[in-house]
Structure 1
Amino acid sequence: MQNKTIKYSDLLADWLKEKGYTHCFYVAGGNIMHILASVNRHFKCVSVVHEVAAGIAAEYFNEISADGKAFALVTAGPGLTNIVTAVAGAYLESRELLVIGGQVKTADLCRQQVRQRGIQEIDGVDIVKPITSKSVLMDRLISCDEFNRIIDAGVTGRKGPVFLELPLDIQGAPVDANDPLCQFHATEMQALPAIGADEIQHLIDDVRSAKRPFLLIGAGVARQTVEQIYDALEPMGIPLATTWNGADRVAADHPLYFGRPNTWGQRYSNLLMQQADLLIALGTRLGLQQTGFNWQEFVPNGRVVQVECDPTELNKGHPRVDCGLQGDANQVLKALAAASLGDHSEWVGYCQKVKAQLPLIEPINNTAENYVSPFEFVSRLSVHCRETDNVIPCSSGGAFTVMMQTFAQQRGQHIVTNKGLASMGYGLSGAMGAAFAYPQRRTILVEGDGGFAQNLQELGTVAVNKLNMKIFIFNDNGYASIRMTQRNYFNGAYIGCDQSSGLGLPDWLTLFKAFNLPCIKLDTNFEQNPEFRRLFESDQPAGFIVPIDPEQTYLPKITSRVTETGSMQSNPLHQMTPDLDEHLYSVVAQYLQ
């Protein structure tokens, strides 16, 4: 048999292709020169300006794509430290993210004997170990089986990032193509533990006997699962809601859809979930943002059933969980959809009455003259979106909460955000990932000016790739959420939240022009503007600046009060600020009396 020598990085690229990867987001660097040349032969390689954008784009790509996967490729040292925020975000949201990092050659590794030996050397593995499912320094040649075990750690059980650090000499090492080490072996993914038939039947019986059952669908329930049983949702006859990460699972116009409960949720949705006598939480960890900081009063008069793949989430102690089922939430939803769950029409009718009594846009909010109400804008924008759009709300601030409180999603849309880390600067990079995952779809991004400024350099990536992206920037002169906190708790002593207090922001129209991207400023009659319609319907990137009042209020919300002991206590989810009129509250909260 004739010997054929190949480079080890070529072998790794072959393995990644066999595992279904199609895209690579990267920033070039000397310590990844071999692996970059190898992956460039197999994948759509997208050069970004900053490594954090590579990680965020890959995360969002994987969340949306039904055909192919993406990974991020960064160089040693600053390449790794720059992407740490993206790794942390994917870890908190339990999402797949493979990051391959370069490293100095093995002979130059300090091995913790000195602070640094190789140029740009830093211990990337230990830096990200706490926020990854697996973090490995590959300082030797490994077999395909071992490679698979490392990569599959990010998609087995509860998903999470994987970091693989490749020294330069390992990347470029020659290997004999006939060596058994080079053979690719496919792996079968380990399924989540099955929930027993008796447990599922007990849950079905609980629903039948409940007076006010309520279904909360989280991101652990796959889009494909909901689409498969979509026609069965209405015959189930149970009011349902979604978490923010599961926002695109059910359309806003579904007759049994009752919103997105959250600490910044929709008031009617919070009230209804809190009045349930049986809450079934599928594929959600029920974190503090979902339950409220006052988790002791989460679903105060009902039982909570949580279906979750991670036993630590079932046993963490907050909120109270009366029945925790470790396993696959998709299995449970399919079983419920196939069962006869009894007649709950009276409860559904009550939910519909409450929803009608409590509009999403509350008149309490103030918008000064010559500014656009963010609530009205988002409501009207959602009408003009298509069912095939990718919709990317940013991940923090006023623009984020308004989108999640007001946007009316359509069946077929993909909505992705990252609320766990709640970092500014996620929107543009995430929208890029969505646009590459589905180039045939239009991608809608809504982000605040403060958050957008943190990754505005990626407008270059948008421009050079001519992405079909519509970028809406809420221009409120800085950090709206920080300004609100300083106004409410520090008597308006602003520090670093707007231009007058030291925050430097660009002229947005000039910025877009610098990248040769069209951009216009909108007003309250934006739909009547023919230039808006032309840019919005085109398949080219475009920017839209939405003037938002810097003193805009964002209500309703959960607030806190000072107790008799001087500590702070948050209101439960059903007591959003401002308080409702006593008579109205008695109508919409009769099971909380």
Structure 2
Amino acid sequence: MIRIADFILKYLAEQTTVRHVFMLPGGGCMHLVDALGRNKHFTYVCNLHEQAAAIAAEAYGQYTNDLGLVLVTTGPGATNAITGVAGAWIDSTPLLVLSGQAKTTDLIGDKGVRQMGVQEVDIVPMVSPITKYACRVVDPLRIKYELQKALYLARSGRKGPVWLDLPLDLQGAPVDETKLPSFEPPQETGGDGRLDGQMDHLLNLLATVKAPAILVGNGVRLDGAIPQFLALAERLRIPVMTTWKAADFLPEDHPLFVGRPGIVGQRGANFVQQTCDCLVVLGARLDLCQTGFNHPHFAPRAKKIIVDIDSSEINKLEMALELKVHASSGCAIRVLLEKTKCRRLPDFSKWLRICKDWQQKYPVVLPEYCRNEAVPVNPYYFIDVLSETLPADALIVPGSSGGCAEMTLQAIKLKRGQRLQNTPGLGSMGFGLPASIGACLASGGRPVASMIGDGGLQHNIQELETLHRLNLPIKLFVLNNNGYVSVINMQKNRFEGRLVACNPESGLTLPDTCRVAQAYGLKVCRIENQLNLREAVKDVLGMTGPVICEVMIDASVQTAPRLSSRILPDGRMESMPMEDLWPFLPREEYHAAMSAAEGLK
């Protein structure tokens, strides 16, 4: 006989690559906590808030592409974890949450009351919309079945979070593990069975077009198919754009890489996206940040081929599509690799040269940003300097919201071997610090650089103690703009400059980052201006252990280039197309870019 709590940890140790469990203890999960402490396979990480535990586990699952594991108690312990789970749901990260619960005899059931058990909250219906599977296990004999089912669903198809709610008496119940029924996974199809013919159609189409492009997303990573994708891209010799979640697939200097398009993007990449005559989208869900807010205006000249494992993500698109390929991107890539082995492929070198010229002509970091003067630091210049200085094995974990996230993904120049991960779908403040901890542990201790805002840091600032305790090689660059600059810019642009709750003048104050970090026992430094910025960044990266570096940012710098609108002579607002980013180019220059591909033969 074995206690169910011990069985759960034993099974997870045998069936996953997980080595760390992110957790907070509590009475509602006492048997699970005891079992975790007794299990020699796992190292438990004592976060100081369940939200941080879930975020760290989400980052762990992102890095390993296997699973992140969270253990929380009942009631507030479970509800606190929801934000991290929502991030995993949107970005398709495999994650398992184990939550304690009141005893089965104390549950609300059909009594019609709000609570019966101590700290009881009916968590399963709360998290069901943001999980692939959520279940309260009340029958001890079902524990193996439910655990196997949850693990299967988290790691198959379109991956995502799952949740098992475990009452206290069930956790402590003894079972004979040899008599536990198992879950039998259904036979996977991975699509609608038309893949082979559709890939023939795609290759035939490529033989007729002059200016194709690929937009690759995180689905390729989730399928474990990045090496195969790179082999395919280099065989086809087609310009490649990446989403934010796939930013590290190709280094900045790769001959096929032409940028990251979007409503906050890179001008050259947006030109490629909007003027190509064929767009192959692999494993990218095409959210509004990618397409803009008017679907028919996305890549309007292109015959569009969308490959996605989730047919709903294809069917939501209100635009003309040449091919809707319901299949995993990994399967599609493997079929294309096989079909192109002996096939004569078109030459797109002239078009590729146009794309690379745009990339070089329209850098995000402009020369005027890079003054070596005693002025507050331009955030774009800082990211540019950091890009130059980071080692080739760096793990980069930007915050997931606001100007800090946007400017980082616009300006960063990744090197071969570097890894960047974030959670942009939810875009929540407070992800950067716990995500850095989870990613660093998952990587076995790679050096981490994290860029977060002074506002976002406050949301999980207690994790500075977790960072101090674990002594991880994380360099946390806190970009201090004395408030919420994204909100400031929004309010200035939309509400005639009226500011509310976004800086000291409008009611928001933030503490001294360095003094707070020192109170946690961490090494700190502050970069006040752009004098010797490169040397200052090198010094921080050269320090051992965790370091908190506060960077005093020029708060007047706006995110650019970005999708915007302009006021027409009659006073109406006009939303600009994705190829016409603010700050707007001279019209002659803009029209020249729009016609650049027309002469290709």
Q: TM-score, normalised by structure 2?
A: 0.92
Compared CA separation, residues 153 and 566, structure 1 to 2 (3 A): farther
Amino acid at match of 2:97: V
The separation in 2 between residues aligned to 1:69 and 1:548, in whole angstroms, is 36
1:527 Cα shift? 4.7
Q: Is the 8 A contact 1:15 1:184 kept in 2?
A: no
1:355 Cα shift? 1.8
**Equivalent residue in structure 2 for 1:385, among 368, 382, 390:** 390
Alignment match, 2:378: 373
The separation in 2 between residues aligned to 1:479 and 1:542, in whole angstroms, is 23
Amino acid at match of 1:12: I
Alignment match, 1:57: 56
Compared CA separation, residues 383 and 409, structure 1 to 2 (3 A): same
Alignment match, 1:525: 531
1:196 Cα shift? 2.6
Pick which of 560-569 and 537-546 moved more.
560-569
Amino acid at match of 1:277: D
The separation in 1 between residues aligned to 2:510 and 2:368, in whole angstroms, is 30
Q: Counterparts in 2 of 1:249-268, with a 5 A limit?
A: 249-268=249-268
Amino acid at match of 2:358: V
What whole-Å deviation, never above 9, does each CA across 1:385-442 have from its counterpart, x for those lacking one? Answer: 1221110111111111111110001122111111111111111111111111113310
The separation in 2 between residues aligned to 1:310 and 1:70, in whole angstroms, is 22
**Equivalent residue in structure 2 for 1:8, among 4, 7, 11:** 4
1:65 Cα shift? 2.1
The separation in 2 between residues aligned to 1:566 and 1:162, in whole angstroms, is 50
Q: Is the 8 A contact 1:225 1:330 kept in 2?
A: yes
1:255 Cα shift? 0.6
Q: Counterparts in 2 of 1:490-569, with a 5 A limit?
A: 490-522=495-527, 523-527=529-533, 529=535, 532-561=537-566
Q: Tell me if 1:37 matches 2:41.
A: no
Compared CA separation, residues 58 and 14, structure 1 to 2 (3 A): same
Q: Is the 8 A contact 1:294 1:571 kept in 2?
A: no
Q: Tell me if 1:124 matches 2:123.
A: yes
What whole-Å deviation, never above 9, does each CA across 1:471-516 have from its counterpart, x for those lacking one? Answer: 0011000111001111112232211111222223111110111111
Alignment match, 1:589: 594
Q: Tell me if 1:100 matches 2:81.
A: no
1:569 Cα shift? 5.3
Q: Is the 8 A contact 1:264 1:405 kept in 2?
A: yes
Compared CA separation, residues 564 and 10, structure 1 to 2 (3 A): farther
Alignment match, 1:176: 176
Q: Tell me if 1:110 matches 2:114.
A: no
The separation in 1 between residues aligned to 2:379 and 2:258, in whole angstroms, is 22
Q: Counterparts in 2 of 1:59-78, with a 5 A limit?
A: 59-65=58-64, 69-78=67-76
Amino acid at match of 1:209: T
Alignment match, 1:23: 20
Compared CA separation, residues 418 and 569, structure 1 to 2 (3 A): farther
Q: Counterparts in 2 of 1:84-483, with a 5 A limit?
A: 84-113=82-111, 114-141=113-140, 142-177=142-177, 179-181=178-180, 190=188, 192-193=190-191, 196-222=195-221, 224-228=224-228, 230=230, 233-337=233-337, 339=340, 340-362=344-366, 370-483=375-488
What whole-Å deviation, never above 9, does each CA across 1:513-544 have from its counterpart, x for those lacking one? Answer: 111111111131345546x5344123400011
Q: Tell me if 1:572 matches 2:577.
A: yes
Q: Percent identity?
A: 34
Q: Is the 8 A contact 2:217 2:243 kept in 1?
A: yes
Q: Secondary structure at the match of 2:415?
A: coil
Amino acid at match of 1:14: K
The separation in 2 between residues aligned to 1:379 and 1:266, in whole angstroms, is 14
Q: Is the 8 A contact 2:540 2:549 kept in 1?
A: no
Compared CA separation, residues 460 and 331, structure 1 to 2 (3 A): same
Amino acid at match of 1:35: L
Amino acid at match of 1:524: Q
How many residues in Structure 1 have an aligned counterpart in Structure 2?
Answer: 585
Q: Is the 8 A contact 2:195 2:325 kept in 1?
A: no
1:134 Cα shift? 0.6
Q: Is the 8 A contact 2:385 2:534 kept in 1?
A: no
1:219 Cα shift? 0.3
Q: Is the 8 A contact 2:218 2:243 kept in 1?
A: yes
The separation in 1 between residues aligned to 2:336 and 2:569, in whole angstroms, is 46
The separation in 2 between residues aligned to 1:449 and 1:407, in whole angstroms, is 20
Q: Is the 8 A contact 1:219 1:246 kept in 2?
A: yes
Compared CA separation, residues 26 and 586, structure 1 to 2 (3 A): same
The separation in 2 between residues aligned to 1:454 and 1:189, in whole angstroms, is 43
Q: Is the 8 A contact 1:23 1:69 kept in 2?
A: no
The separation in 1 between residues aligned to 2:106 and 2:228, in whole angstroms, is 54
The separation in 2 between residues aligned to 1:463 and 1:189, in whole angstroms, is 46
Amino acid at match of 1:445: S
Amino acid at match of 2:524: C
The separation in 2 between residues aligned to 1:564 and 1:192, in whole angstroms, is 52
Compared CA separation, residues 229 and 272, structure 1 to 2 (3 A): closer
Pick which of 375-384 and 222-231 moved more.
222-231
The separation in 1 between residues aligned to 2:336 and 2:368, in whole angstroms, is 40
Amino acid at match of 1:104: A
Q: Secondary structure at the match of 2:511?
A: coil
Compared CA separation, residues 334 and 250, structure 1 to 2 (3 A): farther
Amino acid at match of 1:101: S
Q: Is the 8 A contact 1:212 1:347 kept in 2?
A: yes
Q: Is the 8 A contact 1:366 1:553 kept in 2?
A: no
The separation in 2 between residues aligned to 1:176 and 1:235, in whole angstroms, is 55
Compared CA separation, residues 190 and 271, structure 1 to 2 (3 A): same
Q: Which runs of 5+ in 1 are unaligned?
A: none
Pick which of 539-548 and 148-157 moved more.
148-157
Pick which of 224-233 and 146-155 moved more.
224-233
Q: TM-score, normalised by structure 1?
A: 0.93
The separation in 2 between residues aligned to 1:529 and 1:150, in whole angstroms, is 49
Q: Is the 8 A contact 2:67 2:94 kept in 1?
A: no
1:13 Cα shift? 1.2
Compared CA separation, residues 120 and 385, structure 1 to 2 (3 A): same
Q: Secondary structure at the match of 2:425?
A: coil
Amino acid at match of 1:117: M
Pick which of 198-207 and 120-129 moved more.
198-207
Q: Secondary structure at the match of 1:12?
A: helix
What whole-Å deviation, never above 9, does each CA across 1:225-244 have from its counterpart, x for those lacking one? Answer: 22345355334210011001
Pick which of 322-331 and 99-108 moved more.
322-331
